[in-house]
A and B are shown apart, each in its own frame.
Chain A
Amino acid sequence: MIDCVENRLLTSRRGLLLGGASFAAWAYLPKFARAADGRDPRLIVVILRGALDGLSTVAPIGDPDYAGLHGSIALAADGAHPAIMLDSFFALHPAMPEFARMYRDRHAAVIHAVATPYRDRSHFDGQDVLESGYAGPGRVQSGWLNRALEALPRGERVSSGLAVGPTTPLVLRGSAPTVGWAPVALPQADDDTAMRLAELYRHRDPALATALSQGLQLDKAAAGDDMKAKRGNAVAQMRQAGRGAAKLMAADDGPRIAALAFDGWDTHANEGGPVGRLAFLLGGLDGALAEFETGLGDRWRYTVVVIATEFGRTVRINGTDGTDHGTGTIALLAGGAVKGGRVIADWPGLKLANLHDARDLKPTTDLRSVIKGVLQDQFGLSDRVLAETVFPDSAGARPLNGLVA
């Protein structure tokens, strides 16, 4: 009997892991959350691990070199699955109708030809730079979102449930307390056993004592919640993670700031064009955005979702109808608080001479500027905190203001 329960639930968790979704959030309400003006800002950071092909997500179909270079997987304004024109130059992947709708309603924006300061092509270093907020790899003790939280006035501890996934993404790791939750309901150790173990750890292993007491609190907080993992493909799992995050964040005493990570964007082979592998993943991402919007309800109005990836992919497709590791890519913003309806790009062009290392989209906007702009507009962080603490040594990357309404 127990085995049966075990199997069912463990399969769900495995599905979740394969889907690559994880979610963690800040454990406190920021003080200003109940400020007199009634504005109660929320921020969701979505990390796409594996390097998103920005040129296939928001295609520069007005660039005369795009169709030739992106070859068999290039998007087009016509055909059976036409891309959605965002302006006269850029077109959105047809698998993202929800984002397109938000864009039309001026609640979504695209920043193109963007990159972190990292210029090599290792996923793992690239993700470290993206999430740590340092200018180079090798600093993995804390993430920029956590350091931004530390700079906020700390309010009450969040008491209701938190979020999905067995590990905290680096972006939210650090000394500001955060919480994560995994939707598992296997037969649990009883409280008495847990308390005895906590007592043993308290005497013999303080690090495990801390970990266990946090693990127990989270579990309590989530008890009674119906957000059990449902089996399904990556798309369903992205939606589900979005739904779970939104539900938790919509609560009066829910976290205002959260991070999710979706895996699987490393499209080296058979990436697909308007349909295919990337289209499938983008559909999941689009679904997660819809879930954020629905689940947050009235709070969506003050929400910004930032979607970022470690780097882009080659402009020219490789020999296997995919793309290899590149540099410049896109960042996406969505949410009721976004001043949207625009593609922000200092477009470098796709002529060979304009490409980075003669192969990648040349970055013309520093991703840190985008994020700094959002953090400043949304939470009022100062230039100095942003340039020294949140993104150390980034004074050269000025906050890009005006992204938030």
Chain B
Amino acid sequence: MLPEDHIPKFCNWLFSVLCKEELYNELAGDLEETFAENYQLLGLKKARSIYRKEVFKMLRPSVVRRFKLLPTLSPIDMIKNYLKISIRNIWRDKEHSFISIFGLATGIVASILIFQYVNFESSYDLMHDQSKGDIYRLSRISTDMTSGEIDSKASSHYMAIQSSIVDDMPEVMSATHLYPLPGVLSHETQGYNTENIFFATGSFFDIFDFKLLQGSAADLDQPGSIFLSQTEAIRIFGSENVLNKVITFNATDFPWELQLQVKGIYEDLPENTHLPNPQALLCAKQVNEQMAVFFPQMDENELKWRLTGYHTYIKVLPGTIKSDLSSKLVEWIKTYRAPFNKNQGREHSIQAHSIRDIHFIKDYDSQLKPAGDQKIITLFKIIGVLIVLIAWTNFVNLASAKAVKRAKEIGIRKSLGAYKKQLIQQFLLEAILINLLALLLAIGIVLLVIPKFHQLIGSEAFDYFGSFIPFWSTYLATFLLGSIVTGLYPALVLTRFEPIKVLRGNFASSSQGSSLRKSLILLQFAIVLVMLSGVMAIRSQIQFMMDADMGMNISQTLAIQGPPGYLRDSTYAQKTQAFQGEVERNSGVKATTLSSILPGIRNNFFQTTNRLDRPSGETVMLYRSFADHDYVSFHDLEIISGRDFDESLIGDQNVILLNREAVERFNFESPEDAIGKRLDFANDVTPLIVGVVENFNQMGVNFAIEPLAIELINGGGNFINLRVETKNIAETMQFLESSYEAFFPGSPFQASFIDQNFNTLYEADQRFNQALQFFAIVAIFISCLGIFGLSSFLINQKMKEVSIRKVLGANVLEIIRVLTTEYIWLVSISTLVAVPVAYFLINNWLDSFLVRVNVNILFFALPVIGLMMIILITIGHKTKKAALTNPAKTLKSE
């Protein structure tokens, strides 16, 4: 890829629009040349950031093109005069102009950020050309045949689907499947941890529009070949020309090694697809063979139609109707699955999801990327519109309140023969001018805050350029239309003045349009209150989920990831136990335990299981986990019947603990009833149930509790859990790292505190809250700007009233009361409007959580009190000044 392809497209486009034509070649050329050089010297990120700054600094009068306003009218001299007057007016009343422009600009900035985010989120998987056939993902739905309830939904499907569907169904043109498996890629002696490796088929490049740069897609179907992404090729080899070089693959989770040859290089996947960018693609046939090794008791057909985890996609003939396809798929899979379904008492069926919908599909297990939230996107759209509305409301309020000041000008214009139409034109022009200045300022601010914004939302939304021009030209058109409408109102108010009244000098119009003004302010306050209540509610829900009692002790728990599968040998179990013994001797470590699962991370090991004593009875989707003797006491799990694993019993092998949920699902009469019974794990594994533990929230309170079996291991396990002293934690960590490296040479030391898993679990909610908080602050800020401008205006008008009251004996407090009562009323009424709306929205949002907080009166009370205080502070300064003025000063001018 050439350096110029990396130039920030938005900036580049902006510059081409804003720059004077005669300067464009010189300046843009220089910028591009500098960019290319910086790209070589400093790297992409730095070069882009310099480029953005450079463009921002180009926004100066000598560079920016002179846009002609209203080109159809521009030759008329009158327009020139209007413009001149407008500019003078803007310049003369700086406070007022600043508040108008800055308020508008803030609103526009917020809305640009929101809409680009929305645009980006809606752009997922639009890059695939579906004119030659729609693309569907086939998801698996499992239904309990007796109760008819859906008991699991997953985004992946059986191994067999991909090859069988193309043979059986004529409308399916091609199919591919992906099996994700993390591993280590090594070249010569250097190994690279690689999280995203997919085992795929050559049709991958046929179905998705991802670019294969070198090699032929068919090679991906040859065992022994590996395709690398550009970035990965450069990470491993330092170059993209690496065809036919040799790489070794080792699976992370179990011992499995493959010798591979690079057969293709593909472009990195963009961010706006539901697939995480795969660093490498390998031939799916190899993983299929490996799976067969794991399950020797199953014949090929059974394995193919029972082993899941393959993310399967199909491309169908154009014109295929989705509902027809869906019903056909459901019938089709029955022909293969029927015998297995009957055995398990479960029907596993197919659901087709159009690829463009996938990003917003939630609640499916094993999704490759966290799903987006359609609700949040809609909510953000509404917020984006509301914030601009607030800003325009300010503008209308200020402009119409200011009308009085312009009354004389209008009177004179009218008596000199100006038509009403001309006056409207003039004020409209002024309104548009202010809006455009605000827009320009806003674009500048947006350019500056883009990096911060990317950090906030966790994705590079502004680097997405897909539907840029249609999207933003619509935005711009809507914006201009809005500014004309908002400009029209003050223009109409102003031109209604009767010249005789105005020029005679006894003109008072503080009541002009005041009811509209009041209702607009009311609206602003209500919006702000709803947003603030929302922030409060989300905060307390997140706090609630993080603090909730999960039934297990995870405080100060550090989890060390055990060595990758290929480094584990027959001595591994002994080594982990020796390692445990070593670290427990350190004073910083209080207890240790081994486990295969971690709180806060999904357990993906489950299987359909029966009781040994009732082979054709209840079939339960049982989650399996492995732990050592100390697991129960380490996490303070409560044994409700039977016993814990017992280290002193030598024969304590092949025993398991169940949780209460599992006991209930297997229909044991009581927890006591389960003790001494056996389960059937197939392959002649029939463990004895020795104890039942109370349910605990392995995944956090917001997830349903699954039936779980804990099996005893002696040494080994994926994770070494340690309860550590928080004192001297740095020292302890150092000690752990060095002893880990001594015990497991060549294996990277990876340790993290368990509560961090939960932080990531709630990350999306937290991001949402941060964003909402930010936009609430923006809304408050804009409203305050408006109230500040308006109040200083109204107080000026009321000066005479204030003075007369003072002369008649009112004291300062009474004056302040007179001037602020109106706002207190406004807040009270807007509370009445906001609370029901907020209550409805909050309740609705909280309902999406399994465990939720109750709606609290504080959610509404605190925002009201906060808003009231902010308003009083905002108008306080001017009010105090008015109340303290010597009445003689204002009254003498009469």
Check if A and B associate. Answer: no
Instruction: Please report B residues at the A interface, Cβ cutoff 8 Å.
Output: none
Instruction: Please report A residues at the B interface, Cβ cutoff 8 Å.
Output: none
